Homo-oligomer: A and B are copies of this chain.
């Protein structure tokens, strides 16, 4: 069964990249003023700032910091680059702890031409190399399976099944999965793999947006909820039936929507949230 419509914004979270033109200060101000209750912070928004002050400012405005986005990108042809990626992920875990985010979202990485099985091994090795630090910082790591159209260069983990397999392999309570409807909506195994994910107590985040027809750009043409074909409410029903009670995180990359007045866009997001999530 699809979930019941949402009637308030108590579980609405926005990713800072969704309102890309806004700095973190502007995002905090406008999200809070609109009654949004959560924010996921992309690392670029912390550049030149003190993460712990940013986290405090968000919380002081009534916003929970839901996650830091994003770590990952572990595979590389050279061992030195893989070590650099591990260092960068250790820093990202520190930033997540400083900003007060209980979760770091991982876009796992892929290298054009590297066999996907090898990339997946390097991803597993990379996560294994940082999980103790994540545990000591009390920051969970969320593997986000990415749509297969990103298997060339962004992630060799492309289905919920693979993300679950990777979690099984890593076998740590500090590693779980972020479900983004954009990446997984098409997968005939989605429902059983959500069940598997939740049964293992590793369903850590739920991201929403929509898939437009036609999609004119592989990266930056995501739709606002309701503009596309993803059965968002159905999928929310599946995660909630399996015990997920966290935020519904709106993560939209869209040249078209970034070009709008962002306060007007935020109002549209809230309208779409009640109508379509």
- B162 close to A188 (CB less than 8 A): yes
A45 CA to B214 CA, complexed, in Å: 25
Main secondary structure on A side of the interface with B? loop
Task: Decide yes or no whether A115 CB sits under 8 A from chain B.
Answer: yes
CB distance from A110 to the nearest CB of B (A): 9
Task: Decide yes or no whether A44 CB sits under 8 A from chain B.
Answer: no
Count of this chain's copies in the oligomeric assembly: 2
Stretch of A58-66, A133-141, A151-159, A253-261 at the chain-chain interface: A151-159
- Whether A214 contacts B153 in the complex (CB less than 8 A), given A112-B229, A158-B186, comes out as yes
A161 CA to B152 CA, complexed, in Å: 21
Q: Which of A162, A187, A216 has the most CB of B within 10 A?
A: A187
Report the count of interface residues on A (CB-CB < 8 A): 28
For A159, the closest partner residue in chain B by CB is: B188
10 closest Cβ pairs, A-B complex: A151-B186, A112-B229, A112-B213, A148-B186, A149-B149, A152-B213, A152-B229, A113-B229, A153-B213, A148-B148
Q: List 30 A-B contacts (CB under 8 A).
A: A112-B213, A112-B228, A112-B229, A113-B229, A115-B231, A116-B186, A116-B188, A117-B188, A147-B148, A147-B149, A148-B148, A148-B149, A148-B186, A149-B149, A149-B215, A151-B185, A152-B213, A152-B215, A152-B228, A152-B229, A153-B213, A153-B214, A153-B229, A158-B186, A158-B188, A159-B188, A161-B188, A214-B218, A215-B218, A218-B218
